[in-house]
Amino acid sequence: MTTNSNPNPGPKEESPAGATPVLSVKVSASAPAGATAVGEFAYSDRLGAIEGVTKAAVQRGGFEGKPGSVLVIADGDRVRVLCGLGAEADAGAPELRKAVAAFTRAVSRHRKAAISLPEGVLGLGQVPMAGVMAEAAMLANYSFVQLRSDGDAAPRLNGLTIVTDGDLRASRVEVTRATAVAEAVCFARDMVNAPGGSLTPERFAEHAVERASGAGLSVEVLDADAIAEARLGGILAVNKGSSHPPRLVKLTYEPSPEALAGLEGPPATVALVGKGITFDSGGLSIKPADSMVGMKMDMGGAAAVIAAICALPALGVPVRVVSFTPMTDNMTGPDAQRPGDVYTARNGTTVEVINTDAEGRLILGEALVLASEVEPDAIVDVATLTGACMVALGERIAGLMSNDDALCERVRHAAQEAGERVWPLPLPEDYASQLDSDVADVKNIGTRYGGTLTAGLFLKRFVASGIPWAHLDIAGPGMGNEVDGVNPKGGTGFGVRTLCRLLADWHDAGAGGDVSADAD
């Protein structure tokens, strides 16, 4: 493995990634004088009880208090914004996120705004609410404008004050943590939104190294020669049609003594793996033109993993984490792999490539082998893997597969708490026969039915026996076709919040291996 703080990406070219400004959020006991928009919350079953607003005025504005709805009322030098939370008995964190996101967009032309904490949100105290609101506002305020000739074409809020009569110090700590997560999501969005012709594997690795070094993580980068030396056959096979050499980035987070305070025994080790296909043409099994549009997002899993692990120092996470993110595009160059070609993976498995457009699992398999070799207590991979998952779950829900029920439940719970939707899917062993090859150990694709499940079964072959593993297929929610709550149109950064929550809540002692182990 090549250890390198500079992956030598060659001459710099224009790149939009990593430049999105982030909303500044503060906590105070009162709204600042400079705030020209002030928000407060309204329940659909209490519209007649809003102080200073008549029910008739609410009705004239067509405001029903539904989650995500707003009513803007002129109020002297300021505007007053009512934010719907739905019925009081049903309001929770999802409704609060929608309301804050709608407020943020409604006041986007104001430089500074303030919003009060609501009362009666189920299961949330004032301190956690401050964090949820800060994160939602920052995510909703995101806009990718780096490639516009007129600069920042979309108006954005610059500063938001959350007004509370609760514990200011604790709320500020919570907002600081929320800021770290939101900034990580915005970084992942920037990576996904960058054009595939600009965010090449070399450039993607450079951005990862820069962010990880700034976060204090240890960094190792494999270039093409090191990937070949490490016998990562799946990465080399996919990269054969490309004019850009591949990379594999390994990042390691070691928790500080302060983060480990109170932990009995050594910290657990969790390995993360992310798919980094910087553009997917389908290879020689080429995609139709319409299906190729948007395939710059096929590195969304790697972006989520890199963003999440780089946020861990700020969150004080009490677990060792090591990440592996293979990076290549999938193109149709003169030496591109052909349907029927066979390669040998690092663990000795021979793979017949029936369809070159089922390439993500090839590079993920190699990274899962590397992740297994550090003997972690668990592995979680994130990938924009299958269109079949979108057929099953639509565009807003990720598929979750696992070889371990306890880990599956951990990931599901973390996603729910973080505000990202996932749905558990099975890994039926009798489907594995679809991957039987006539000439090799396994082929890379099964029949047209159950494609998400057979993709998961393919990945499972590369996870060492006895290691709990979970797979998130984010093909749907990784890229949005329209604004949805805190998510913009375009890259969503899906998976970052789930991983951060999963790892922040992971307080188990562990017996994982040496996360500094070399790949070769």
Domain residue spans in the chain? 24-163+170-181, 194-504
Confirm whether 287 is a catalytic residue. yes
pLDDT, residue 122, reads 84
Which token pair is 44? 């659909």
Per-residue pLDDT at 75 exceeds 80: no
Q: Which CATH class is domain 24-163+170-181?
A: alpha beta
Q: What are phi and psi of 351, to 5 degrees?
A: -125, 125
Per-residue pLDDT at 54 exceeds 90: no
Percent of the chain with pLDDT over 90: 84
CA distances from 99 to 81, 164, 179, 354, 473 (A): 11, 17, 18, 47, 28
Average pLDDT over residues 29-40: 93
Pairing of strands 70-75, 78-84: antiparallel
Average pLDDT over residues 57-71: 93
Average pLDDT over residues 313-321: 97
Residue 517 pLDDT level (bands cut at 50, 70, 90): very low
Among 22-31, 97-106, 427-436, 470-479, which is the least confidently predicted range?
Answer: 22-31
Q: How many CB atoms lie within 10 A of CB 409?
A: 14
Average pLDDT over residues 220-228: 98
> Could you give the CA distance from residue 352 to residue 362 in angstroms, rounded to a whole number?
10
Q: What is the pLDDT of residues 339-372, one digit of tens each?
A: 999 999 999 999 999 999 999 999 999 999 999 9
Q: Which CATH superfamily is domain 194-504 in?
A: Zn peptidases (3.40.630.10)
Per-residue pLDDT at 512 exceeds 50: no
pLDDT, residue 306, reads 98
Q: Mean pLDDT of all residues in the chain?
A: 92
Among 42-51, 185-194, 318-327, which is the least confidently predicted range?
Answer: 42-51
> What is the number of alpha carbons within 13 Å of residue 396 lying toward its C-beta?
10
- Span between the terminal Cα atoms of the chain, in Å: 6
pLDDT, residue 11, reads 37
Q: Are 190 and 198 in contact (CB under 8 A)?
A: no
Give the active site residue among 80, 111, 231, 287.
287
pLDDT, residue 148, reads 81
Q: Are 243 and 279 in contact (CB under 8 A)?
A: no
Which of the pair, 195 or 2, is modelled with greater confidence?
Answer: 195
Residue 513 pLDDT level (bands cut at 50, 70, 90): very low
Task: Please choose, from the candidates 485, 498, 397, the residue with its C-alpha nearest in 3D space to the C-alpha of residue 97.
Answer: 485
> Could you give the CA distance from residue 19 to residue 35 in angstroms, rounded to a whole number?
26
Average pLDDT over residues 223-239: 98
Which token pair is 465? 């026996």
Q: What is the pLDDT of residues 264-303, one digit of tens each?
A: 889 999 999 999 999 999 999 999 999 999 999 999 999 9
Give the active site residue among 240, 247, 320, 361.
361
pLDDT, residue 207, reads 98
Q: Are 298 and 275 in contact (CB under 8 A)?
A: yes
Q: How many CB atoms lie within 10 A of CB 146?
A: 17
Pairing of strands 378-383, 112-116: unpaired
pLDDT, residue 17, reads 47
Which of the pair, 264 or 249, is modelled with greater confidence?
Answer: 249
